[in-house]
Amino acid sequence: MLPTLLAAVALSAPVPKAPPIDLSWKFTKGDVFYVTHEFREEISHSAVNTPKLTRTRTETETVVYQVTVSATDDKKRVLQVKFLHGDESDSEEGDKPTAIEGLADRTTTITLDKSGRITAVEPTAKRDGGRTPADELLSESNLRIRLNTLLRAIPGESLKQAETWKADSEDSPNQSPSYVTCIRRNVSGKVGETVDGVTRLTADVSTIYTTHHGETESMRLTDESGKQTVIFDAARGRVRSVEETCALDGLLHTDLFGAEDKVRTILKQTTKITVTDEKPKAKK
């Protein structure tokens, strides 16, 4: 009788709830880690029968960089970012990876607030000898987009399993008096299961990509079905990996020789970011 009674009591006892998980980066002065950022984009137009796969210096490349935490306090974190190597390829040129000229050994300083939001980016010093393909990739706006994909992939607060969060961002990778591009992202995330201190997070990502020439909007691409998966090491306070896919679809308004036209444009983008303690080897 006693064993049966004890078993009944055990079954009726409330199951303790799992405590919240601190889903924020933990930066300690002197920490060093390495990031491999891979981006692939497939571009197709309604006027082309076969989708065109293009790898370019700003839209499709593999870039490896080293991050060193140089300072931390109650208000900010300062990161030194050193680009080690990168390659790009183009299917129209045989799809053979070639090194991104002018990228190796370029450095920049990134300042974050307590929540992990970028507050300042020190432009990378340009090399002697004129402009290189790496200069556009390392512009302040493009650096913010690249780094935010990693640094803002987690909520930056403590949440329990199955809880949700939202985040949004707006960046302008290209901006001049007559040509402005704006990328707006809205992320709706959910905390998944934690196993051995590693938490899986998933998110729906909606994106709006617009381009203006003067006052006229020439292109609007949207995607409401983007997906993101993040693997986060809660014990170390560090993202292990980020994978994201989206398919931007919309119309490009053209004005060729005074004749207006519309072309349907689809951009299928895949981003994969991995963070390691060891320096990745350059591809041969």
pLDDT > 90? residue 33: yes
Query: According to the model, what pLDDT value does residue 96 have?
Result: 76
**Interval 162-206: pLDDT, tens:** 999 998 888 887 766 667 888 999 999 999 999 988 999 999 999
Query: According to the model, what pLDDT value does residue 215 have?
Result: 74
Q: DSSP code of 14? A: P
pLDDT > 50? residue 49: no
Which residues, 6+ apart, have CB-to-CB distance to 192 below 8 Å?
Answer: 161, 199, 200, 201, 202
> Coil, strand, or helix at residue 27?
coil
**Interval 239-254: pLDDT, tens:** 999 999 999 998 877 6
pLDDT > 90? residue 34: yes
DSSP H or E stretch at residue 151 = helix 140-151
- Mean per-residue pLDDT, 66-79: 91
This prediction has a pTM of 0.83
Question: For residue 43, which of 278, 269, 281, 283 has the smallest C-alpha distance?
Answer: 269
Q: Calculate ∠ Cα 31-19-16, nearest 5°.
A: 150
**Interval 150-172: pLDDT, tens:** 998 999 999 999 999 998 888 88
Query: According to the model, what pLDDT value does residue 130 have?
Result: 63
Q: How confident is the prediction for the chain on average, in pLDDT?
A: 82
Query: According to the model, what pLDDT value does residue 2 have?
Result: 54
